[in-house]
Amino acid sequence: KVYESAATSDKPAYLEYIWHRENIPKKARMQFLAEVIQRDQSLNAVEYAGRYFSKGAQLKVKPLAVEALLNWWSDNKDKME
């Protein structure tokens, strides 16, 4: 909820903060990033989310390859812990 109401310029910082939270399961962080990639109107936020998502998924795709990232998540989310 905090992320959704954040200023667009603050969203990359929130994404970085969430990604580096070790007390949040990786699957939950990846789900959050996938939702940002799918729904956020900020191209900058989507790019940051895509960068962290690609890192978490160990993918070598561009951060703005939205369709590829979301397809990977759809195919692999149930395999994550």
Per residue in 27-78, pLDDT (tens digit) is: 999 999 999 999 999 999 999 999 999 999 999 999 999 999 999 999 999 9
Burial 52-77 (b: 16+ CB within 10 A, else e): bbbeebeeeeebeebeebbebbeeee
In the predicted model, what is the mean pLDDT of residues 12-37?
97
User: The pTM is what?
Assistant: 0.93
Other C-beta atoms lying within 10 Å of the C-beta of residue 10: 13
Query: What local confidence, expressed as pLDDT, does residue 80 receive?
Result: 85
Q: What is the CA radius of gyration of the chain?
A: 12
Distance of CA 69 to the CA centre of its chain: 9
Report yes or no: 81 and 26 within 8 Å, Cβ to Cβ: yes
Residue 1 predicted with pLDDT over 90: no
